[in-house]
Amino acid sequence: MITREDLCTTVKAIYKTPEDFFQDVERNNSEGFEVFCSIAENPADSDILILNYETGQFVGWYKLWHLGRDIRSNIQSSQDLIKFLQGFENSAKKL
């Protein structure tokens, strides 16, 4: 299973800044992915879940800007996490 450190490292490798990632999460506009927030009007205090609804892979954590805090995921390896986040980032760019 992936760790909080894996998620933080991967986000930093794919995005110019973590803030760019957070913007993509808040926009929730990536084809093939859905972002769920437990408190829709305030993602800063929400549980966040990103789901690739084509593969069923997901990653979730508590509080948007506390990346990876209390991480939950069915992604097994760092390589799969890279593919997952690259897909999320690439599909956000297209829209």
The tens digit of pLDDT for each residue in 65-90 reads 999 999 999 999 999 999 999 999 99
- Domain carrying residue 25: 4-94
| Among candidate residues 5, 7, 92, 12, the one with its CA nearest the CA of residue 52 | 92
- What's the confidence (pLDDT) of residue 45? 85
Sign, CA dihedral 8-11-17-20, equals negative
Tell me what percent of the residues of the chain surpass a pLDDT of 70.
Answer: 97
What pLDDT sits at residue 14?
97
pLDDT per position as a tens digit, 13-35: 999 999 999 999 999 999 999 99
What total of structural domains would you count in the chain?
1
